[in-house]
Chain A
Amino acid sequence: MDALPVLVGPCLVTRIELGFALLTAAIETPVFWLCGYRRAFQCLCFAGVNLVTNLLLNEGLASQAGLGHYEQAVAIGEALVLAAEFALSRCFTQGSAGRLFLTVAATNLASFLAGIVLFW
């Protein structure tokens, strides 16, 4: 009989990925608050959504790193993140879907611009 694989392996999240996710949440959550979603619960959930989507994006991109077409992968990944953040945010917000979509787009634009400034 073959040996059993490890039941639960080490955490696959690197410190850099976690750092980027926390930084993104720190930038996007205040923008979300500024756009009118003022309840603490909503902001907390949005920060959680940010952590989840950012970790997934960076892990996904890391797994694609050796395959080429990195820029296209980033563009597709960011589009998926935008859609996923909108869909997830619908679970804890009420009101206009259009307003929420614009808010999520604004938060992502803010973190994108902050990224350009930070890593210039």
Chain B
Amino acid sequence: MLAILTLMHFAVDGVCAAELYLYELAEPDWLQVLFVFGLYNAAAFGFQWLAGLALDLRPAFRPALALSVCLLALGCIGAFGAPLRAGLLGAGNCLFHAAGGAWVLSRHPSTYSEPGIFVSSGAVGLALGLAGMIAPAVFLALCAVCAGFACWGMGRVPAQIPMSPAEAAPGEPASDEAALAKTSGGRLVPFLLGGCVLVLLACVVLRGFGGGGRCPGLPLLFPCVFALGKACGGLVCDRFGLKATALAVFLLCFLALQFGGLVPALLLAFAFNMTMPLTLRLAHWCFPKAPGLIFGLAAGCLLPGYFFKDALALPPQAMAVLVFLGLFLAGSTLARFGRLPARPARTSAKARPNGACGAGE
């Protein structure tokens, strides 16, 4: 299922980008092009939290996927006006991301890899579409096939949604949160977790500003690095734990910022994108009953980076430090409340102490 949804993510972003590319080729008025691109992005990212919230309240993933493909197909009809088509494509994209993201977060509740793998393919689809390398019809056909398989696969999985890592892994040490909730200080817990989510979303905003890049002549180079970074971030975090991964990301950023040239720029983009599955998963663990809302909010936080790319005069050094601090703060808080797994999820059953230091494991 994860592979199908990942492939569908590639195709959904691809069809939208390919349609926008064809529109851009035909439209001589740059102001109109900017308006349509802005409209598409606002529709695709700005309302994902709402679609995610609706899916959290009523987890109708299969109808959402089917509807998203219908909306994308409508958006490809050339007879409609460009703003309407951008809106339809954005709405289809939004619905797919909310449904796919919520499904992946809720079905794989205690690991970082799956969200990373799911989000990784979008950048490549987007780049292929924007470069005009694959026709929208091909992407759309792939979308329809993937949606069919996904709906079939989702029907075979039981309908329950696992909650926090503690619930998903019975036998783990008891959570401090339950004990804390019985005291007067327990009222603070939702606020602390809300604060954690805000900090993590701020990390996503920073990544929206600092995680980009492009290489003239090689349009697929940076998108492939983005995808690799997102996928590797989750895999590395599952293998070595949150603390080691956050530290590795910070040190990679530091190393990349000491040199000029293409390879350090790629390394910086890779490191920034490694944080994507970490922020997603940690935010989900803050509110495990709302995976759709969390995924949608995280997607919406990429919008400032799109609309105000040049407005933020923050040096990349500060971004690297702030992202590391955000992960550290959120990891420490979640470890304190027993919401981090006691050990990296994919290692053997050998016991390790819980939350020994810093950002936990």
Contact = CB atoms under 8 A, between A and B. Distances in A.
Most buried by B among A1, A8, A67, A87: A87
B258 A80 contact: no
A6 B217 contact: no
Given A4-B217, A5-B215, A90 B258 contact: no
Contacts, number: 89
Contact of A9 (B261, B356, B357): B261
A19 interface: no
Contact of A6 (B262, B324, B357): B262
B357 A59 contact: no
Contacts of B358: 87, 90-91
A44 interface: no
B322 interface: yes
Contact of B259 (A4, A9, A67): A9
Interface in B286-337: 313, 315, 317-318, 320-322, 324-325, 328
Interface residues of B, number: 31
B260 A10 contact: yes
A119 B22 CA distance: 61
B261 A5 contact: yes
A23 interface: no
Interface in B231-265: 243, 247, 250-251, 254, 257-264
Contacts of B313: 64, 67
B315 A83 contact: no
A2 B259 contact: no
Nearest to A87: B328
A56 B254 contact: yes
Interface residues of A, number: 35
Interface string B194-233: 0000000000000000000001111000000000000000
Nearest to B356: A94
A27 interface: no
Contacts of A4: 215, 217-218, 262
7 contacts: A7-B261, A52-B251, A57-B317, A59-B257, A63-B315, A91-B247, A91-B357
Given A8-B262, A87-B328, A91-B247, 7 more contacts: A52-B254, A59-B317, A60-B315, A63-B315, A63-B317, A80-B318, A91-B243
Interface of B: 215-218, 243, 247, 250-251, 254, 257-264, 313, 315, 317-318, 320-322, 324-325, 328, 356-359
